[in-house]
Amino acid sequence: MRWGSFLLVISISAAACHAQSATEPALATPPAAGTDATQAPSDPQTPAAPAATTPSAVATPMPVPAALLSAAIPVSSNSYVIGPTDVITLTVLKEPTLSSSLLVRPDGMITMPLLGDVKAVGLTPLQLSDDIAAKLKKYIQDPNVSVVLTAINSKKVYMMGEVAKVGPVDLAPGMTLLEALANAGGVTEYANTRKMYILRNEDGKHTKIPVRYKDALKGNSTLNVALKPGDTIVVP
């Protein structure tokens, strides 16, 4: 064999070996010590699972606005006097545990955290808010208190006799005799309006107030009596 042919054979063999090594997959890198060799390799297209996070503390719920519970009664906060069985919404700013809707008990008191029993009857909503704020200063710095009337139950008058609807009538501020009768559906055709009267209880004494119904209808404002809580209008 000539030297030229021998060199050609060697060159062809080397080229074949190089081509074979290029087509074979590279050997996997051995796993590091302390790892599981059977674990599947990660897919670069699969997003990694989010790291577990510790849930944050549950926020203390704020009190529900009074408008979502009951429509506020349109009365003046510095003139309406709170009575037994009225319902108020008490709000202490940034103090949800002290804020709630409260029923004024028959004894005239409300009960709230920190303060216990607080007198509400005989006070206006504004006076009650100021009183509670003064008491809370022992526990809270600069307490901001508001009181809103959400139900009037203590201010009622009662209809008896020949009226369309016998029973209690909610007493709106400044309500007169004729307005109360209108809310009760008016007198019946059998009513003896000449003997109509108002029965009023003041300081434990019952007072009978005669009513000149027809004269009041004619526009005499002095005979259209302004009513007071607890009045009973009797229509024989």
From residue 201, how far is each of 68, 123, 145, 210 by CA, in Å?
37, 21, 35, 14
Q: In what order do the strands lie in the sheet with 87-92?
A: 100-103, 87-92, 145-151
Gap between the Cα atoms of 143 and 130, Å rounded: 10
Q: Are strands 100-103 and 87-92 parallel, antiparallel or unpaired?
A: antiparallel
* Residue 80, number of CB atoms within 10 A of its CB: 19
Domain boundaries for CATH 3.30.1950.10 within the chain: 66-151
- The pair of three-digit structure tokens given for residue 61, joined into one six-digit string: 């719920």
Q: Is 161 helix (H, G, I), strand (E, B) or coil?
A: strand
- The pair of three-digit structure tokens given for residue 80, joined into one six-digit string: 């309406």
How would you write the pLDDT of the chain (236 residues) with one tens digit per residue?
444 444 444 444 444 444 444 444 444 444 444 444 444 444 445 445 444 433 333 333 333 334 334 445 556 667 788 998 899 999 999 999 999 999 999 899 999 999 999 999 999 999 999 999 999 999 999 999 999 998 888 888 999 999 999 999 988 878 899 999 999 999 999 999 999 999 998 877 889 999 999 888 888 888 888 998 889 999 99
Write down the CATH superfamily of domain 66-151.
Answer: wza like domain (3.30.1950.10)
Among the four given CATH numbers 3.40.50.300, 3.40.50.20, 3.10.560.10, 3.40.50.720, the one describing domain 156-235: 3.10.560.10
- Say if residues 127 and 152 touch (Cβ distance below 8 Å): no
Domain boundaries for CATH 3.10.560.10 within the chain: 156-235
- Say if residues 184 and 175 touch (Cβ distance below 8 Å): no
Radius of gyration of the chain (CA): 43
Predicted TM-score of the model (pTM): 0.52
Gap between the Cα atoms of 160 and 97, Å rounded: 44
